[in-house]
Structure 1
Amino acid sequence: MTSLTKKNAKYTWSPNCEEAFQSLKRSLTTAPLLAQPDVTKPFDVYCDASGNGLGCVLMQEGRVVAYASHQLRKHEANYPTHDLELAAVVHALKIWRHYLLGNTCHIYTDHKSLKYILTQPELNMRQRRWLELIKDYDLEIHYHPGKANDMELRKRILDEAHMSMFTMHPGSNKMYQDLKQKFWWTRMKREIATYVSECDVCQRIKADHLKPVGMLQPLEVPTWKWENIHMDFIVGLPPTQKGYQKSLEMAPFEALYGDVEHPLNWSEPGERVTFGPDLVSQAEEQVKLIHGNLKRAQSRQKSYSDKRRRPLVFELDDHVYLRVSPMKGVHRFGVKGKLAPRYVGPFKITEQCGPVAYRLELPPHLAAVHDVFHVSQLKKCLRVPEEAVDTSQIQIEPDLTYEERPIKILDQKQRATRRKAINFYKVQWSNHSEEEATWEQEEYLQTKYLAPSPEPLTASSPPPLASSGSSLRPLLRSLPRLHAATPAVLALHSTASA
């Protein structure tokens, strides 16, 4: 944006200018609080230079006091590296003269030769002039290796290698093999593995190649009849056409419950027999034998099942992803097939309902869904994303898709062609922030979204489909240069049409 303020410069607000302006606003609103300087204590100055400008940071006791920067002029861009690094130091001394003059200060630079600038015998005229200025200050120059400031550079390299349009979220091994050809740093492979495992897109989209979670939980063997009652609902079985099944040679009821007793028993009544202690003890031994066999069978089946499973335990207040397959009407989120997200969330765990069941804090629009889930339907969220999609605002269609709607117009520009001028509008879409706004043509918005309506448009109600006679030009002429305060355009459109 600095080039727009030059003399005789043509004012052209390009997408790069808009991106720089939004980045500047974010930096100003999210910058840390500056410390109040104390002139009785020494200062620390960090300086650096690049091919585009100079940067300086004034600090005291580990807290930032002030920032400073300077864009290089045309003749300054031709300076050698040594003079550029020295120019950054001189710029800091000039701009913070009221703080540094008369006080002790420590200068930190990543150019090692500046450490010996005061003792060099041969200097050019520019360096001699700057050296006269440096001698007025009580300072000490320290060498600060540039690799000590590579944390932000590492983050940028990892983002570019993982989330750019040319990489498409590779795995940790593939990403490491690509980066190790040009980059290296300590614990590089471990950082790449951690970065990939914490990626929100990878956690929700990619399939798991591990053993299924959740150990088998067998039912307790009862000691008395009707002590435990369990119920299981099985649906989708084919109905039988006849009561008698040839494969069983009996009716399914007889196979399940035994022979049906006739209401009239025509058998001869037998003699009354009194059970003795031998028969009771024999029955008790049989019951113990059956009880032990059931326990051994359960233990054997559990060992077989647990060989192919792995345990997974969550803590309270942990965030987990929920597998979307059992959630009718909520899964897929506008994408069908292989690209559909396998998990939604993350959601917060509020209670542990058993060894392998947890209660989740679901949003209000999922109140009809039972909030207790088996551990096999959950996946731990390693890092909670800063901005999660609010699923409550997504209008799910009958085919399990959703359509994005424009909710706000942020800016306007015009592009001239040989025959006509085309109007473009920067539109913020539903379920997206202002930083994700896109430029759309007037004809596209007019045809698909805008139409006359007596009801004003709000952020919660999407605009109706357009008619052939609707127009955007009368509406947007009445809007200011920045339309950030405009919640919608339909109400203004109906007013302009009237």
Structure 2
Amino acid sequence: MYYDLKKMFWWPGMKGDVATVISKCLTCQKVKIEHQKPSGMLQPLEIPQWKWKGIAMDFVTDLRRTRSGFDAYESGEASVLGPDLLAETTETIKKIRERILMAQSRQKSYADQRRKPLEFEVGEHVFLRVTPTIGIGRAIKTKKLNPRFIGPFEILRQFGPVPYQVALPPHLSNLHNVRIDDTSVKKLQGKEVSLVNVAWNRAGVEEHTWELESEMRKDYPELFSGSENLE
């Protein structure tokens, strides 16, 4: 902006004035590429004090039973630990936890060198970084003037150094707008495959891709209602 303006205009403090205007421009803040370090320090997970303190399970059925007659995810009567075995287990867990803490601390120190500390207060307004994707998960290639942020949104609640609750308007409940612009039939190994040209629009970024008609009919049946004669 400064170099474009100085071709035709000049005034004292021009460069600073341009920087001030750009820093307050909402459109510029949404579009510009972020060159600063990411905000917020790394927040490591809590290391459990004892084994089995936290348990996660995937429920799987119809597996082969063990020799004792139990399912693979079940266990029989646990044997009572003797004093020596309990002391040995406690010492082993203590060593494992110390090593995990050391590795976690080293990882945090490396990660925080590339980040900057930043926290927000309730009532402040923030932008959210968006990565537009099409319905099948591929990211839309962001062009120079496509928005990279949306907002600003007011912070309603702070849950910690990183997570916040922000006030999103109702229209953002569905950021994906999809439409079919064209159809085509491609011959592959002696068979015909029906394709549709899909326009994906999310957060103001639009991209066209060719997708299988069968997959689109399964994921977006509303696009084909009353459009059987698109050919």
Report TM bin, short chain: 0.5 to 0.7
Is the aligned partner of 1:182 residue 2:10?
yes
Match of 1:191 in 2: 17
Match of 1:284 in 2: 90
Q: Which amino acid aligns with 1:218?
A: P
User: Pairwise mapping of residues 311-330 of structure 1 onto structure 2 (< 5 A)?
Assistant: 311-325=117-131
Q: Structure 1 residues 318 and 305 mapped into 2: Cα distance closer, same or farther (>3 Å)?
A: same
Q: Structure 1 residues 336 and 308 mapped into 2: Cα distance closer, same or farther (>3 Å)?
A: closer
Q: Separation in 2 of the partners of 1:202 and 1:274?
A: 67
Q: Separation in 2 of the partners of 1:396 and 1:291?
A: 48
Deviation at 1:347, TM superposition (A): 1.7
Q: Which amino acid aligns with 1:221?
A: I
Match of 1:302 among 105, 108, 130: 108
Contact 1:213/1:312 (8 A) holds in 2: yes
User: Pairwise mapping of residues 461-476 of structure 1 onto structure 2 (< 5 A)?
Assistant: none
Q: Which amino acid aligns with 1:226?
A: W
Match of 1:366 in 2: 172
3-state SS of paired residue (2:171) = helix
Match of 1:203 in 2: 29
Q: Separation in 1 of the partners of 2:200 and 2:96?
A: 51
User: Pairwise mapping of residues 251-400 of structure 1 onto structure 2 (< 5 A)?
Assistant: 262-263=66-67, 277-325=83-131, 337-367=143-173, 396-398=177-179, 399-400=199-200
Q: Which amino acid aligns with 2:91?
A: E
Q: Separation in 1 of the partners of 2:163 and 2:133?
A: 17
Q: Which amino acid aligns with 2:10?
A: K
Query: What stretches of structure 2 of length at least 5 have no aligned partner?
Result: 58-63, 70-78, 136-140, 180-198, 203-231
Deviation at 1:274, TM superposition (A): 8.5
Q: Which amino acid aligns with 1:316?
A: V
Match of 2:51 in 1: 225
Match of 1:216 in 2: 42
Q: Percent identity?
A: 44
Q: Separation in 2 of the partners of 1:275 and 1:362?
A: 54
Q: Structure 1 residues 336 and 292 mapped into 2: Cα distance closer, same or farther (>3 Å)?
A: closer
Q: Which amino acid aligns with 1:195?
A: V
3-state SS of paired residue (2:122) = coil
Deviation at 1:305, TM superposition (A): 1.3
Q: Separation in 2 of the partners of 1:368 and 1:179?
A: 44
- RMSD over aligned CA atoms reads 3.8
Q: Separation in 1 of the partners of 2:145 and 2:23?
A: 19
Contact 2:41/2:112 (8 A) holds in 1: yes
3-state SS of paired residue (1:345) = strand
Q: Which runs of 4+ in 1 moved over 6 A?
A: none
Query: What stretches of structure 1 of length at least 5 have no aligned partner?
Result: 1-169, 232-259, 266-272, 330-334, 370-394, 403-498
Q: Separation in 2 of the partners of 1:280 and 1:310?
A: 44
Contact 2:122/2:155 (8 A) holds in 1: yes
Q: Separation in 1 of the partners of 2:26 and 2:150?
A: 10
Deviation at 1:229, TM superposition (A): 4.6
Q: Separation in 1 of the partners of 2:55 and 2:17?
A: 51
Q: Which has the higher strand share?
A: 2
Q: Which has the higher helix share?
A: 1
3-state SS of paired residue (2:159) = strand
Match of 2:187 in 1: none
Structure whose CA Rg is larger: 1
User: Pairwise mapping of residues 138-177 of structure 1 onto structure 2 (< 5 A)?
Assistant: 170=1, 174=3
What TM-score, normalized by structure 1, do the two folds share?
A: 0.28
Q: Separation in 2 of the partners of 1:274 and 1:344?
A: 58
- Aligned residue pairs total 163
Deviation at 1:275, TM superposition (A): 6.1
Q: Separation in 2 of the partners of 1:183 and 1:301?
A: 50
Q: For each residue in 1:324-360, what CA deviation from the matched residue of structure 2 results, as whole angstroms up to 9, or x when unmatched? A: 316778xxxxx97443211222222111122211111
